Structure 1
Amino acid sequence: MSGRLVHIGSAVVDHVYRIDALPAPGTEKTASSYAQVAGGGFNMMVAASRTGMKVVFGGQLGSGPNGDFLRAAFAAEGIETLTPASPLMDSGNCVAMISGDAERTFVSWPGAESVLSFGMMAPVRVAPGDWLFASGYTLSYV
């Protein structure tokens, strides 16, 4: 496939807890496993990259530990980040609880990925033949 996949969406750190059943309101559960993984649009980018497509990320990552974690995950998959880290905030995260019968509950905390402007995207160049994926943003001129 010619061209690149240019992803202008979000990537967050997922905190994934596996539990036997989702807790009832006001109760507590103990997880059978826990993992911290790169999530959000990262999963789609990895899938495309592993099919042989060149993938680049033009969204916003943060400047704290979550952003560092995501940049390392991107680098491990050979996915270039086109924009500099946000100087103002870290990347967001999502807590995912997954039960034994595959029910899922999410709680998200937005971070740098939720703040993207045309000015921040100046380094992103889309060329003929590229595929652009953008989701979850309302862009503003800043």
Structure 2
Amino acid sequence: MAVWNLGSINIDNVYRVPHLPAPGETLAATAFSQGLGGKGANMSVAIARAASRVAHIGAVGADGKWTVERLMEYGVDTRQIEVVHGEATGHAIIAVAEDGENQIVLFEGTNRTITQDRIGAALTEASPGDTFLTQNETSGQRMGADIAKRLGLRVVYAAAPFDPGAVKDVLPFTDMLVLNQVEAQQLEDALGKPVNALGIENVVVTMGAEGCLWMTDAGGETHVPAISVTPIDTTGAGDTFTGYLVAGLDRGMPMRQALDLATQAGALMVTRLGTADVIPDLKEIEDARLG
């Protein structure tokens, strides 16, 4: 099987700070690093490191060619990533405080230039039973989900960053919805109904230190507890969780087993500083023996 991820690719500029800056505050950073990021790229790396085949559908500018090479090094199929000349690659300015909390300013760049032709051409290589994954950081989400559904793919939607219009467009094609507590509340407010009443087969709500809640359209509800660790950086932890969850399902794991694996991956991720470049692989998770 395989995962087809229509996702963002960003250049992450990460600044380590004593605390998150208040409005109007000028704050000196204690460290700086640059790396591969974007919710889509993070998830693709996590899927690859969880031993599943993943093809990334996306776009970068000439300044982001190195990000494509990095994805390839991590085992991601990059043949469906287009280089758009004259446009800037998406990038993020990330402040990470000593307590592990973060603050992010995002520029979408080429992530919003992905064409319908690119998405359609990529999915012609997909097979029934594969997985289509997308988030809210690119163009073409509804079209991609529609095509994938008609081709017999499982459609997984990570509804972040939250946008009510984008979510409403994709929900009719969605088999599994993954979102955090804040996004779940925003979705309930926008639609006037709880997330477990949307007719979606599986809904997973992540709750940080409280773990996650898995709900089914049959009325089932399962709480998966978090693993206690000392966080260093929460950036990319949710993407790591989602990537490992999707990879586990792609490899044929039952939902609960895939959730347990994703929880371990997310817990190990928050003990590391960085994003895609530090996402753990299966051996590291096994060696860490968390939980």
Runs of 4+ more than 4 Å apart: none
2:121 corresponds to 1:123: yes
Counterparts of 1:85 and 1:25, CA distance in 2: 36
Question: 1:89-128 counterparts in 2 under 5 A?
Answer: 89-125=87-123, 126-128=126-128
Tell me the CA shift for residue 83 of structure 1. 3.5
Partners of 2:58 and 2:82 within 8 A in 1: no
Counterparts of 1:133 and 1:124, CA distance in 2: 13
2:74 corresponds to 1:77: yes
Query: 1:78-116, CA deviations, whole angstroms, 9 ceiling, x for partnerless residues?
Result: 212214312341311000001112221111111111222
Gapped runs of 5+ residues in structure 2? Answer: 144-291
Indicate the RMSD between aligned Cα atoms, in angstroms.
2.0
Tell me the CA shift for residue 26 of structure 1. 2.8
Letter in 2 for 1:52: A
- Tell me the residue number matched to 1:68: 65
Partners of 1:16 and 1:96 within 8 A in 2: yes
- Tell me the residue number matched to 2:48: 49
TM-score (norm 2): 0.44
Higher strand share: 1
Partners of 2:59 and 2:113 within 8 A in 1: yes
Residues paired across the two proteins, number: 137
Distance change >3 Å, CA 45–CA 138, structure 1 → 2 = closer
Counterparts of 2:100 and 2:83, CA distance in 1: 35
Partners of 2:111 and 2:139 within 8 A in 1: no
Partners of 1:95 and 1:108 within 8 A in 2: yes
Counterparts of 1:35 and 1:122, CA distance in 2: 36
Partners of 1:18 and 1:97 within 8 A in 2: yes
Decide which structure has the larger Cα Rg and report it. 2
Distance change >3 Å, CA 43–CA 72, structure 1 → 2 = same
Percent identity of the aligned residues? 26
Letter in 2 for 1:33: A
TM-score (norm 1): 0.85
Letter in 2 for 1:68: K
- Tell me the residue number matched to 2:219: none
Question: 1:17-56 counterparts in 2 under 5 A?
Answer: 17-40=15-38, 41-56=40-55
Counterparts of 2:97 and 2:34, CA distance in 1: 17
